[in-house]
């Protein structure tokens, strides 16, 4: 049941910096429920609230675990603006500088006490007021900024959006938010993170949009396509799979059946209107299609468009290598020496290798030899740029080379926002760029990076091709290697770990899909403890306690797991380990955020990129201070990330989680002295050998495997999950003009369907015949559509 309360806003306790969420103290004038106090705390999404003004709120009483009873407002309106005196007082307030009481009274006399709504609905009415140009500008700007926002927020509240979703919608569309929703609510499903199709469909149904409306069908198609790419890592969807998923989404949200042929027609129409790209049986989001093409083009450009070729004397390179080895007491193997030479001489170079093969040592060699060859002092080496996808990986790179390194986002000047245009990027100046942990770079980030590199800059990509691919769409580093168009070197000889090490040997067995006979045996750097999924937490706790008792720092221990939920999931492991690994927790200052409770001293993980604060998805930090809420501001915390202290607002807390246990995906680019890795049947849907390989290669010194032997064996045997991309083919086509063989990763799904979308009739399938692609390049007339055209018409 909806309740209401009316009263004066006495004080604003808290305003979220990144949303419309506010906490108000309201002096009650009337209420529909029994309340024994004169004042009540009201929380919800509000535009600008003016202390001293009167408002009415609709919603319900709720009980907060820490702050007790409060009123959760779902809607509100200003009562001050409901009276003539209130409107006059408002228009003569500081919001409208230059409009005094007499002018405000004149406005109300002309337009009535609904003057604000009149001006919002028809801006031309301001011309009837006889105001100066400056007064007209101040009046309309103040009304639009304050009341336009207020009306928008009220309507978004009525639609039931959360504070974060409301802020995201308003940030994107501003005062046009409601217009966008009324025009096509389904556009939000692919443009607002966290807002799914079913939620939007309920709103659309309330607006009278029928089950087979083309807007609804297109919304389902785009949602399915984006989910297939941005959730599963593909850069396109197979046509039959997309048709099937779209139908499932449409019929799952409402019980009515949708004609498959109508969905197929909508897909083809979307291709005609360039909302998506259709190429043979492949259907792409436009941004991913363009990104793959542009990556291929930029790689070709960097390989072939240099004004001057790279020419170094072989003897001089050898002398520089000898000097570097002597200066830093390094002895390179023959494969490492060759890798350094090849990298130095190539406009673009790819270096790959597993753990212990010396990739990081080679990066040091490349930078040192490059500086010696080009007579560059270390202090003047600003033309050498080093970067990695995460802050932790960049710090590791900086430590290894004794040079500055940054995240790729920071290098490109990406400082925030969901959409990034070419104008937002910083074009690079310099002569050499080295990117580490390249397997973590997704298609769109690689596109942005390459587009900013000048023709004259050498580029070296370093990574491990056997690790998990990027979180975002694509398998860019692997596709670049498999294209065989770019000079590359794979390191196979082990240098880093001693002869007694078994971690590297185990990693090689996993890459080959082999279950080693000594998997369960204890070695000098590895052990195995059998336990069930229900025992994982207790066994992990016991291991951590033993390690701590031996004098090891908690900072050296990292638990990795594939999944968040369940008795052996990341969330439960963090709850179990937090009091043990941060023993001061019980008496330390704390703050709540969602399901998390953070204490000073806690290890935390950043879940989303926040370029403004220079912290990124996967960065690990430690909370060193928590500050209580102040007037007009919520709690803040200071987190130390890799030596940098970052102050986070309360809205930022939602992008943090405890990190005593973290996901294997998030651990990429990091190394830990001791890794504890559970693997049980509960994780079976995540089984993939590259997942296990990535996890165990995070361990520098000790690896402790716990769980079920059969789970490990099945995970080792499970081939890496396929990602469907066309970057390899695009690169080959760009470099050679020839079609490449189908990506070995690509397995087009054949689904039974009454209407075979792939085999549409010629009248509906003309788009397949006239778009140039890999499948028809040799069949389309190069002068298609040019009949009767004289070349001189172009002169």
Contact 622, 646 (CB under 8 A): no
Contact 242, 738 (CB under 8 A): no
Q: How far is CA 275 from the centre of its chain?
A: 22
358 known ligand binder: yes
> In the chain, what is the straight-line distance between the N-terminal and C-terminal CA atoms, in Å?
74
Collect contacts of 681-686 with beta carbons under 8 A, ≥24 apart.
Answer: 681/533, 681/708, 681/710, 681/711, 682/533, 682/563, 682/566, 682/567, 682/568, 682/569, 683/561, 683/562, 683/563, 683/568, 683/711, 683/715, 684/711, 684/714, 686/562, 686/563
Strands 661-663 and 557-561: parallel
Give the three-state DSSP class for 714. helix
CA distance 282 to 775: 11
356 known ligand binder: yes
- Name the residue among 294, 287, 283, 296 with its Cα closest to residue 236: 283
- CA distances 194 to 18, 168, 595, Å, are 16, 10, 17
Query: How does 23-33 read in b/e, with b if 16+ C-beta sit within 10 Å?
Result: bbbbebeebee
Give the three-state DSSP class for 280. coil
- CA distances 384 to 340, 371, 397, Å, are 16, 9, 13
- Name the residue among 670, 571, 556, 580 with its Cα closest to residue 620: 670
CA distance 596 to 553: 24
Contact 138, 145 (CB under 8 A): no
**In the 8-state DSSP scheme, what is residue 231?**
I
Q: How far is CA 749 from the centre of its chain?
A: 27
Residues with Cβ within 8 Å of 435's Cβ and at least 6 positions away in sequence, in order, are 387, 388, 408, 441, 449, 459, 460, 461, 462
**In the 8-state DSSP scheme, what is residue 127?**
G
- CA distances 525 to 417, 500, 522, 539, 700, Å, are 44, 8, 8, 19, 9
Residues with Cβ within 8 Å of 757's Cβ and at least 6 positions away in sequence, in order, are 239, 240, 243, 260, 264, 267
Report, in angstroms and rounded to the nearest whole number, the Rg of the chain calculated over CA atoms.
30
Residue tagged 């050898």 (tokens): 318
Angle between helices 570-581 and 536-549 (to 10 degrees): 30
- Binding annotation: 356-360
Residues tagged in the binding site annotation for ATP: 356-360
């Amino acid at each position: 049941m909806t309740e209401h309360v009316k009263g004066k806003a006495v004080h604003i306790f808290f305003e979220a910096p990144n949303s419309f969420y506010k906490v108000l103290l309201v002096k009650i004038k009337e209420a529909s429920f029994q309340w024994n106090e004169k004042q009540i705390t009201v929380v919800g999404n509000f535009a600008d609230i003016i202390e001293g003004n009167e408002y009415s709120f609709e919603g319900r009483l709720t009980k907060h675990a820490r702050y007790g009873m409060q009123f959760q407002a779902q809607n509100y309106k200003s009562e001050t603006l409901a009276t003539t005196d209130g409107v006059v007082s408002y228009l003569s307030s500081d919001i409208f500088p230059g409009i005094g009481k007499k002018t405000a009274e004149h406005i109300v006399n002309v337009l009535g006490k609904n003057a604000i709504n009149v001006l919002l609905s028809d801006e031309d009415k301001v011309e009837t007021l006889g105001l100066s140009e400056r007064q007209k500008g101040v009046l309309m700007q103040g009304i639009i900024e304050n009341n336009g926002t207020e009306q928008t927020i009220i309507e978004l509240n009525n639609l039931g959006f959360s504070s974060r979703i409301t802020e995201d919608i308003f940030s994107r569309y501003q005062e046009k938010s409601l217009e966008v929703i009324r025009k096509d609510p389904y556009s939000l499903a692919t443009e607002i993170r966290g807002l799914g199709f079913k939620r939007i469909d309920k709103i659309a149904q309330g607006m009278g949009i029928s089950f087979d409306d083309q807007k609804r069908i297109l919304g389902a198609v785009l949602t399915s396509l984006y989910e297939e790419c941005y959730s599963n890592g593909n850069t396109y969807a197979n046509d039959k799979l997309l048709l099937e998923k779209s139908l499932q989404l449409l019929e799952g949200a409402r019980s009515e059946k949708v004609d498959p042929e109508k969905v197929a027609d909508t897909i083809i129409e979307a291709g005609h209107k360039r909302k998506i790209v259709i190429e043979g049986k492949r259907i792409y989001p436009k941004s991913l299609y363009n990104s793959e093409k542009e990556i291929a083009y930029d790689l070709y450009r960097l390989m072939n468009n240099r004004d001057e070729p790279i020419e170094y004397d072989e003897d001089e390179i050898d002398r520089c290598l000898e000097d570097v080895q002597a200066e830093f007491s390094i002895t390179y193997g023959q494969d490492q020496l060759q890798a350094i030479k090849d990298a130095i001489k190539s406009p673009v170079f790819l270096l790959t290798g597993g753990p212990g093969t010396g990739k990081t040592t080679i990066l040091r060699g490349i930078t040192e030899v490059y500086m010696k060859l080009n007579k560059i002092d270390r202090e003047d080496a600003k033309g050498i740029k080093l970067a990695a996808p995460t802050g932790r990986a960049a710090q590791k790179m900086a430590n290894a080379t004794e040079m500055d390194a940054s995240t790729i986002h920071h290098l490109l000047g990406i400082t925030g926002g969901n959409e990034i245009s070419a104008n937002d990027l910083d074009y690079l100046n310099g002569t050499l760029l080295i990117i580490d942990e390249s397997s973590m770079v997704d298609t769109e980030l690689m596109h942005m990076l390459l587009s900013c590199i000048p023709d004259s800059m050498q580029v070296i990509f370093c990574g491990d091709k056997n690790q998990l691919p990027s979180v975002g769409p694509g398998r860019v580093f692997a596709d670049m290697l498999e294209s065989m168009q770019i000079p590359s070197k794979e390191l196979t000889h082990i240098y880093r770990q001693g002869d007694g090490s078994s971690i590297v040997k185990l990693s090689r067995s996993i890459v080959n899909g082999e279950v080693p006979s000594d998997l369960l045996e204890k070695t000098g750097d590895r052990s195995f403890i059998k336990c069930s999924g229900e025992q994982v937490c207790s066994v992990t706790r016991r291991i951590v306690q033993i390690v701590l008792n031996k004098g090891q720092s908690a900072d050296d221990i990292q638990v990795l797991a594939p999944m968040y939920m369940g008795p052996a999931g990341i969330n439960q492991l963090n709850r179990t380990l937090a009091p043990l690994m941060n023993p001061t927790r019980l008496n330390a200052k704390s703050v709540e955020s969602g399901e998390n409770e953070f204490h000073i001293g806690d290890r935390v993980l950043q879940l989303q990129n926040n370029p403004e604060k220079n912290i990124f998805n996967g960065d690990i930090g430690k909370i060193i201070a928590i500050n209580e809420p102040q007037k007009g501001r919520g709690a803040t915390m200071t987190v130390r990330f890799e030596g940098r202290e970052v102050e986070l607002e309360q809205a930022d807390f939602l992008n943090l989680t405890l990190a005593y246990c973290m996901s294997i995906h998030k651990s990429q680019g990091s190394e830990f002295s001791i890794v504890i890795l559970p693997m049980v049947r509960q994780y079976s849907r995540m089984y993939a050998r590259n997942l296990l390989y990535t996890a165990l290669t995070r361990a520098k010194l000790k690896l402790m495997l716990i769980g079920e032997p059969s789970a490990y064996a099945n995970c080792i045997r499970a081939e890496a999950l396929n990602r469907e991309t066309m970057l390899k083919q695009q690169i080959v086509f760009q470099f050679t003009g020839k079609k490449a063989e189908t990506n070995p990763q690509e397995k087009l799904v054949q689904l039974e369907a009454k209407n075979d979308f792939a085999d549409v009739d010629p009248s509906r399938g003309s788009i397949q015949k006239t778009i140039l692609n890999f499948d028809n390049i040799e069949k389309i007339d190069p002068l298609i559509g040019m009949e009767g055209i004289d070349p001189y018409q172009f002169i």
